[in-house]
Structure 1
């Protein structure tokens, strides 16, 4: 796997109205705003320069439409995979943080403390990580030895995937900062498996030159 020089770029979708309103989206199928489409187009022009070998995406339309801006520019089609969806958050979906805190105070407090909780009766973060990591591993196996995979997904799901893939304990995943709309993180090969090379990036990665390479 990671000893072959393969790279995984995890790209968050563009802006939606619920992002602007700070509503929990989960698996609700919210479209991109005009600003979100513009974000996807700008980012796609950069990412196309990496010449990805494969593009996989969540089947929610905010991810599908973001991925489409990249596949228009490269000779690669997108493969849709529901395993790359955002965390299912049940009754929390569509609510703001203040509404969630008022209606589900105990769950909200547990979540803020980083404890395992089925938000709104939905998925555990560990379950999201398992399905994301499995889907990514299957896609990586199809890459050439030095290939690049672009995964178009969602902020919470990407954080779970990164935490699991680089071997962080689940309770520390919250230490990974949130991804901005249409920013990305890059995983590459390390001596002991995947390592995080770029996080919440909006420009093309630069080579690491120095003692820490």
Structure 2
């Protein structure tokens, strides 16, 4: 078996629920987000990870803490796993952004990799730092090892696109990650392969009474 990398999005925050662009604003998990982290951690623990690394933003740290407690591993922090720094857009809703910065919002929605989001980072810059974090973490694994990287919705998608060689102007072809869902990359002969995406979004099973 080859090396594997799990990119795990943090649980829900109040800003997620309100549809606000978080970026690097350090918003904590809400009650549902903490519950999501516990439930997802119970599934990810079955993968027996060798290494746990998190974005240094609190919502990511609190998410991975649920897994660390189950598998008995320490969590390392890596600021390269942060969400895109979105400058003036942070704290705004999509409606507010579209109203105040209509041209930039249209370019962002179309997947422009060079646009500096809210005057902050571009997707190109985020993809480069995310890919470096992924490859550095994977290099520390044994041949059949697995690392869980707790990150954020936009930055995780960009890391995936960079890892599988998807041109960044087609970044939007990688679907969004739901809160506390994850994707898995496996190392292949010619690079990284996306083998799972947005896992953890299965509905709660229906309870059927026997008899």
TM tier, smaller? over 0.9
4+ runs of 1 displaced by more than 2 Å? Answer: none
Deviation (angstroms), 1:203: 7.2
Unaligned runs of 5+ in 2: 203-211
1:91-106 maps to which residues of 2 (within 5 A)? 91-106=88-103
C-alpha contact (below 8 Å) 2:178/2:201 kept by paired residues: no
Superposition TM-score, scaled by structure 2 size: 0.93
Superposition TM-score, scaled by structure 1 size: 0.92
Measured at CA, do residues 100 and 175 of structure 1 come closer, stay the same or move farther in structure 2, by a change above 3 Å? same
Instruction: Name 2:206's counterpart in structure 1.
Output: none
Is 1:39 aligned to residue 36 of structure 2? yes
C-alpha contact (below 8 Å) 1:118/1:124 kept by paired residues: yes
Give CA-to-partner distance per residue, 1:88-139, whole Å, 9 cap, x none: 0000000000000111111101112222311110101010011111112111
Give CA-to-partner distance per residue, 1:165-195, whole Å, 9 cap, x none: 0000011110111000000000012231101
Is 1:176 aligned to residue 139 of structure 2? no
Give CA-to-partner distance per residue, 1:22-61, whole Å, 9 cap, x none: 0000000000001000000000001001110001000000
Provide the C-alpha distance between the structure 1 equivalents of 2:80 and 2:16, rounded to a whole number of angstroms: 21
Provide the C-alpha distance between the structure 2 equivalents of 1:143 and 1:98, rounded to a whole number of angstroms: 43
Is 1:87 aligned to residue 56 of structure 2? no
1:44-55 maps to which residues of 2 (within 5 A)? 44-55=41-52
Give CA-to-partner distance per residue, 1:53-101, whole Å, 9 cap, x none: 0010000000000010000001211101111100000000000000001
Is 1:199 aligned to residue 197 of structure 2? yes
Instruction: Name 2:207's counterpart in structure 1.
Output: none
Is 1:121 aligned to residue 119 of structure 2? yes
- Find the partner of 2:66 among 49, 58, 69: 69
C-alpha contact (below 8 Å) 1:14/1:36 kept by paired residues: yes
